[in-house]
Amino acid sequence: KSSSEVAERLEENGHQNKRLKRDADEEDVEDQNKKSPKRKIVLLMAYSGKGYHGMQRNVGSSQFKTIEDDLVSALVQSGCIPENHGEDMKKMSFQRCARTDKGVSAAGQIVSLKVRLIDDILEKINNHLPSHIRILGLKRVTGGFNSKNKCDARTYSYMLPTFAFARKDHDVQEEVYRLDKETLEKVNKLLACYKGTHNFHNFTSQKGPKDPSAKRYIMEIYCGEPFVRENIEFAVIKVKGQSFMMHQIRKMIGLVIAIVKGYAAESIIELSWGEEKVDVPKAPGLGLVLERVHFEKYNRRFGNDGLHEPLEWTEEEEKIAVFKEQYIYPTIINTEREEKSMVNWLNTLSIHDFNSSVVGMQANHKNLK
């Protein structure tokens, strides 16, 4: 045979071998995908939000790092989702339960998405996450499940140093201050005013007074007994509501602090439901933690159908508690000690002009009458 024929035959064999290898590789990937087909799941997440610009990813804006940036990267690296799903999150039907703001932490965030159910999935995802972000649990859910729409309530906590409630005319030594029973009762009486359905347009920057979505339903809100950490006394406010608007909880707490300290009259809470603009101060984001999200309707319908598990996390409670003690509480306490975010914010309360809003509104009420 001529040398050119031999060369052609060798080249053909070479291409054939490459093609066979490529086909075999593709079959391996297909086999792997068949073994772990995509399924709709929810992940239970805990994270310390310090240093992050909130939960929700801003695709194309790498300067503002979010929790979801780290999560998506870990999902791709662990092999749960293809790389292109990371760029377009709709492809994996991704939905988070709550968009936590800048610096806000979570002990019980839930995200729903479609993933390949690979072996040791939680361990593999966590291996690609920083230690202050953990996936603590996973459950299979119905194909049409959307964690934001199916969630009927969210519970947040707000941890703050109790000297925030000291009267403005008292000289407060932060480490020495202790909350007395009467002040705690006053705090709880004021917080109770928020219960029920109200127009919270004054507690966010996004809504006008006539916007129906500014009406929100608060189920529960109270301040627990104080406790001492690192020589500073803290207390935790718990609030459960159907859903919350941006900055709403921080403003609800900010206004109560302003009243207890003596900067604003008690009547301002009632007046804030009205149409007038009220200057409501926004407490620091540091102490806010998404504690848990509730799926009561979903659990009633699918939790005991024999195919799906109820979205309850009793088995994970211990892991959640350990994570909070390890990452969330120390971050709040140490940041408060070092950066004095509450002290600095309290110094701005005197700038707020609560009276002009109240006087203006009272005058309007008289004119209307």
- pLDDT tens per residue, range 146-165: 999 999 999 999 999 999 99
Note whether 143 and 161 are same-domain residues: no
Is 95 within the bounds of a domain? Answer: yes
- pLDDT tens per residue, range 35-57: 567 899 999 999 999 999 989 88
Task: Say what percent of the chain tops pLDDT 90.
Answer: 67
Note whether 206 and 112 are same-domain residues: no
Predicted confidence at residue 25, as pLDDT, reads 47
- pLDDT tens per residue, range 109-126: 999 999 999 999 999 999
Note whether 217 and 352 are same-domain residues: yes
Calpha distance 38→81 (Å, rounded)? 9
Predicted confidence at residue 36, as pLDDT, reads 63
Is 253 within the bounds of a domain? Answer: yes
Last residue of a domain, one of 90, 114, 149: 149
Predicted confidence at residue 12, as pLDDT, reads 58
Last residue of a domain, one of 133, 149, 165: 149
Task: Say what percent of the chain tops pLDDT 70.
Answer: 85
Last residue of a domain, one of 149, 172, 204: 149
Is 311 within the bounds of a domain? Answer: no
Residue 139 backbone dihedrals phi, psi, to 5 degrees: -140, 145
- pLDDT tens per residue, range 292-348: 999 999 999 998 888 888 999 999 999 999 999 999 999 999 999 999 999 999 999
Is 13 within the bounds of a domain? Answer: no
| Choice among 101-105, 134-138, 327-331, 358-362 with the minimum mean pLDDT | 358-362
| Choice among 11-15, 61-65, 76-80, 277-281 with the minimum mean pLDDT | 11-15
Note whether 124 and 214 are same-domain residues: no
Angle at Cα 37 formed by Cα 31 and Cα 38, nearest 5°?
A: 145
Is 312 within the bounds of a domain? Answer: no
The whole-chain average pLDDT of the chain stands at 87
Note whether 289 and 170 are same-domain residues: yes
Note whether 135 and 182 are same-domain residues: no
Is 300 within the bounds of a domain? Answer: no
Predicted confidence at residue 259, as pLDDT, reads 97
Is the pLDDT reported for residue 28 higher than 50?
Answer: no
User: Which residue shows structure tokens 């799926």?
Assistant: 295
**Model confidence at 368, in pLDDT bands (50, 70, 90)?**
very low
pTM for this one? Answer: 0.84
Note whether 141 and 158 are same-domain residues: no
Is the pLDDT reported for residue 223 higher than 80?
Answer: yes
**Model confidence at 100, in pLDDT bands (50, 70, 90)?**
confident
Number of domains observed in the structure of the chain: 2
Note whether 194 and 343 are same-domain residues: yes
CATH code: domain of residue 48: 3.30.70.580
Note whether 136 and 221 are same-domain residues: no
Is the pLDDT reported for residue 191 higher than 80?
Answer: yes
Q: Could you tell me the end-to-end alpha-carbon distance of the chain, in angstroms, rounded to an integer?
A: 111
CATH code: domain of residue 200: 3.30.70.660
**The domain containing residue 233 runs over which residues?**
152-295+328-357
Is the pLDDT reported for residue 22 higher than 70?
Answer: no
Is the pLDDT reported for residue 203 higher than 50?
Answer: yes
**Model confidence at 4, in pLDDT bands (50, 70, 90)?**
low
Note whether 118 and 230 are same-domain residues: no
Q: Which is more confidently placed, 360 or 139?
A: 139
Calpha distance 101→289 (Å, rounded)? 10
Rg (CA), the chain: 27
Note whether 161 and 142 are same-domain residues: no
Is the pLDDT reported for residue 172 higher than 80?
Answer: no
**Model confidence at 16, in pLDDT bands (50, 70, 90)?**
low
Is the pLDDT reported for residue 30 higher than 60?
Answer: no
Is the pLDDT reported for residue 245 higher than 80?
Answer: yes
**Which residues define the annotated binding site for substrate?**
156
Note whether 99 and 157 are same-domain residues: no
Active site residues: 101
Is 77 within the bounds of a domain? Answer: yes
Is the pLDDT reported for residue 167 higher than 90?
Answer: yes
